Each structure stands twice: as C-alpha cells, then as structure tokens.
Structure 1
Amino acid sequence: MALLKLFLIALLLLQFALQLLDGAEPQNPNCPAYGLPGRDGRDGKDGATGPKGEKGEPGMNVQGPPGKAGPPGPAGEKGERGLPGLGCQGCDSISDSLKSEMQQLNAKIAVIHKLLGFNTLKKVGQKYYVTDGVEAAFDVGMQYCKDNGGTIALPRSASENQALLKVAVSSDITSSKNPFIRVTDRETEGRFLDTEGKQLTFTNWNHGQPDNYKGRQDCGIITKSGLWDDVSCDGQHPIICEIEITLT
C-alpha cells in the first residue's frame, strides 16, 4: 500500500514538471483534467476543384411555349422591278363579247326548254309552230305567246301556210274552232297588217274575205281549208304560237 502511494505521488510530480516545461500554469489538482469547449473556428479556405463528373442522362425533348412577338424589324430595301405581265390588247372587248354570246345562248336554251313543253311542235325554217290547244281572245293569245318567247303565228309563204294548217289539224284544234293568225285591221279598217304595223308579204284570204261582218271583225283566222277569214278579236279561238330560234 505504501508503495502504491509513492507511485501516485511520483506521477503527479512528473505531470507538474511537464507543465512547467511547456510554460503552462500548473493545474489545481482538485480541478478536472479538461476545460470547457471553445468557440467554433472560422471556415477554412476552399479546397482544390474536384475531378469532372460523369455525363448525365439526356433530358426530355419538349418544346416550350412560344415567346412574345418581338418588335418589327426595319423595312428592307426596295426590290427590283418585276417582269411585264402577260396581258393582251383588246381582251376586255373580247370578254364582253363572250359574255354577250353566253347571255344569248342561255336565252335560246330557255326558249328551247319551253318549246319541248308543248304538245304539238313543227319546225318551219328557223321558226317553230307550237300549241297546247289553248283558246283565248286575240290580245290574251298575244301575251300568252310572248310569255313563251314568241308571238301568234303568221304564215309568210304558201309553204308556211300549209305547215301551220298541219299543226292545227294534227293537234285537233280545228275540229271546233279555227286558230287566230297575227293579222288585224284595227288601226285602219279594211287594211290588214301584222301586229308590228308591217305590210303583209303573203295572204290567203277566202273568196269575199275579209268582209268585216257586222262591223266587228278585225282579226284574222286560218280555216280547215287553209284559207283565211276575219273574225272578232274578242272571240275565243285556239292559239298557235310562232317561236323563232337562230342558232348561228
């Protein structure tokens, strides 16, 4: 036991001697061996840059929304003069001529459509005699034919007179009454003209006709024999229209 105490005293003396050699004040043997922790020191300087890392995975190819439109740029330089156009002289007049021809053609087509709607139709030269068996007074018949693109038929030769008679007979309209023809003396009694006031170039009056019976017969008709007679313009007679179509 005495030997152990001597050993401890020797350790304390040795520790005291080492502190004197390091310039440190001797510690109180009754105080703890270590002091309280000091404050954190300042951050050290940045170390050297490390090696480059490996290449990362490619990102997603997604287009972002369009940005706002920027301000307009400055005007560019004036370009060179272009080549002359391929216009032609007189094209406007040609165009007007084509339009006019198209209008005429459309009008003729419309008349042809009306012709095909009649029950009886006969071509005579450049015109057609047509009828549906309609009966009317002379003026009403004139308007009816006008609405269909023509006028009341008027033969201007013996062949046309015969053709008109065939239309009247084939349509069976002469079985009861005789059709009007487009002659009248309403302007001057006894002087029969066509409705345009022109002289007749062909007539086929029956013997003793026209006679203006009872002073009331101012319009002409064609009878079953092909001869002409005068009757009242207000009477109801079959209407045969004359429609002319020139295709050239």
Structure 2
Amino acid sequence: MSLHRPLVVVAVVTSILAILHGQEMDIEKLKMCTMFPGIPGSPGNNGLNGRDGRDGNDGIKGERGYPGFPGVQGPKANDGRPGKVGPAGQKGEKGDKGYEGPICNTSQMADLEAKLQLLQDNLSQLRKAFSFNAGIQDVEGKLFVASIGKTNFENAKRMCREAGGELVSPRNSAENKAIYDIVREMGKSVFLGIKATQTERLFKYPNGDEIIYSNWDSGEPNNVNNNEDCVEFKSNQMWNDVSCDYQFSIVCEFV
C-alpha cells in the first residue's frame, strides 16, 4: 500500500470539513441579518384594480320592519271625471194612495167648453162692433181706445194703466195707421207712450225697450230748450217731440 493514499484521504476529508464549516458561518450570518432589519426602501406604485367579483348568492330574507310615520298630507287633487252610471236600484215600495180629485164627468166638461166658446164668440162680436166707432180700432188683436178729455203725459199714462192698458205706442205702420184713423176723427193730437231718456236721448217704449219704428215729422225730434222728452201724435199722423207738461187727448192700447 502506498503512503500517499492516506494523505489524499486526509486532504479530502479536511476539505469537506472546511466547506461544511464555511456553510455554517454563512448560515450564522444570515441569522444575524434577520435579527437586525435594514432601512426600508421607497414604497412601490399601487397596482391596478382587480376585476369586479362575481355577484354573491341572495341572502336570507330579513324580518318585516316597523311601519314608518305617516307623511304630510298632499294638496287636494282635482275632481275626476264622473264615473259610469251604476245599475238601477231596487224598486221602491208602493206609495200611499193620493187624495181623490173632484168628480168631473163628460157632461160637465162639455158644458164648460160650450160656455168658453160662447165667451170667445161674444168677444169677437164686440171687437167687430167697436171697429165701427171712430174712437176704437182693432189691429191684429190689439185694441186702440180713445178717452174723452185732455191731460199731461204722466196722468195719461196713469189712466191707461189703471184701466189695464198702456199709452198707445205704435210698433209698425199698420198700428200707426190705426191711431191716425182715431186722431183724424177727433181732430186732436194725442200722447204716445214713447219717451226719451234724459242722458242718451234714446226714445223707448213703456217697457224700456228702444223703439223699432218711428214716423217723425220733418226736422224732428229737435228737443227745443232741452225739454222735449215726450212724443205728440199729430193729426197728419206724423210724430213731434214735445214737453211732457203739454196736455193732449188720450188713446190707450189693450192686448
């Protein structure tokens, strides 16, 4: 056996022990580094946001909460459209029997109708008889009747109304002609029921309506001295505005 072989073995073992001893030294150094931390470095930049996670499963339904306090009452709404007509109600009970009326048989009705017809015939005959008198004229169911005497406008109007009529107020040429026939026979002027308003100077009928017909004489109405509010019907069938204090004959009209 050669003497060099044991020396080689010793050398190899020594090298291995040295290496192992060096590794133990490095481990110790590492332990010492972990015990004494170094100065912290600068923080890194924030990373990008991650993706949204998936929706989780629905949770268990919670218990019903307590009711809240009532809110403030709002403004009143507009009325809506009326609804449809509802069904008819139940038929009511039969009412009590009414009082019996007066007994009127057919013979009594016939007698009343005969009397009414007789009155109508008599009135028609009277109208025809009056038409022959110059002081009375009948125009389409309207009677014009002359009265004796003269008076002013207010008294003439009052007398006609007390008799159930009005001072004559022609509304067309036919009525104007009928009044003219009376005035011509009398040979006297008469008052008309037409009168002018003091502010507007509008001539109106007794009921307040503005006149729809007139037959003014030439140059009339002229309101001399601002005192001619009434109307004279002259013997030539023309009209003239005069003072209401004048005195003329009266012709009333009855409907």
Q: TM-score, normalised by structure 1?
A: 0.49
